[in-house]
Structure 1
Amino acid sequence: MTRTITQAELRNGSAGVMDALEAGDDFIITRNGHPVGELRPIRAQRDVATAELKARFARFAAAGAAAEERAEIDAVFGEDRLDD
């Protein structure tokens, strides 16, 4: 849920804003009635192992034109591959 609060509300109620951020709320901060910024909770990122990424994207290599596209990209940018 996105809530709009003033600069003064942010300053005076920062503990409540932090609690709401932890609960997943978003905020638009206004100054003199004009939006000046956003506050959003940080979403946790999950580390993914290289092997898992390779497995996830392996199906794309099987697409019909993938080999030709990869050759074109390599021709333009050069080959800079990790061990396939």
Structure 2
Amino acid sequence: MEAAHEVNQRDLRMRSREIMDAVERGESFTVTRDGRRVGELIPLRRTHRFVSRDDFARGSRNMPVIDPARFRADLDAVIDGGIDDPYARAAR
């Protein structure tokens, strides 16, 4: 990430649209008041919500082949398959 620009409180108020557009483009700002640093404006990390079929295929190309029967056996070995009633009263 590039070095943060410095912007004072008054400039932030007067140029808020311009500064917020810059933050949206990935720029960071250090906000000052009376010459003291009081805060930072930084862009949020964007998470990918959609993976294209081609990207998924490229990413899975080197994944190991999974044997479904063995996978199920491994799950059964570590997971209790019983269903418990959370509202059942314990016998006293």
User: Which TM-score bucket, shorter chain as reference?
Assistant: 0.5 to 0.7
Unmatched 5+ stretches in structure 2 = 50-77, 80-92
If the length of structure 2 is used for normalisation, what is the TM-score?
0.49
Gaps of 5+ in 1: 48-81
Runs of 4+ in 1 over 2 A off after TM superposition: none
Question: 2-side partners of 1:16 and 1:46: how far apart?
Answer: 26
Match of residue 28 from structure 1 = 30
Q: What do you get for the CA RMSD once the two structures are aligned?
A: 2.7
- How many aligned positions are there? 52
Bigger radius of gyration, 1 or 2?
2
- Please state how far the C-alpha of 1:13 moved relative to its aligned partner: 0.2
Residue 4 of structure 1: aligned partner: 6
Q: Percent identity?
A: 39
Pairs within 5 Å for 1:52-67: none
Offset, 1:22:
1.0
Amino acid at match of 1:23: R
